[in-house]
Amino acid sequence: MIRIDFSLAIGLYIILTVCLVLVLWLVFDKKRSSESFTSEENFFWQCSICTYVYVDSKHNTLSQCPRCGSYNKREE
């Protein structure tokens, strides 16, 4: 009887540990996906001359507006 209770305790401990790891993994995965979404948001540029909003993923600090051709600087 004691041996069965002990194996049951071990089983419960393993199940709880696996559940904890799964929950932590899901939380960190969700956090990572939200971070990648904000980095994609950095690809959006708004022209300071004609206020045209466009996507430019190639440039980080300086980008040319496709509508009026003026250069826009990334504001921190």
Contact residues for Zn ion, defined by CB under 5 A: 47, 49-50, 52, 65, 67-68
Tell me the two tokens of residue 6.
């002990």
3-class state of residue 54 by DSSP: strand
Instruction: Specify whether the CB–CB gap between 64 and 49 falls below 8 A.
Output: no
CB of 59 to Zn ion, least distance (A): 14
- Interatomic CA distance for residues 73 and 60, integer angstroms: 9
42 versus 70: smaller Cβ distance to Zn ion: 70
Question: Smallest distance from the beta carbon of 45 to Zn ion, in angstroms?
Answer: 9
Smallest gap from residue 72 Cβ to Zn ion (A): 8
Identify which of residues 32 and 73 has a Cβ nearer to Zn ion in the complex: 73
Which of residues 32 and 59 has its CB atom nearest to Zn ion in the complex?
Answer: 59
What three-state secondary structure class fits 10?
Answer: helix
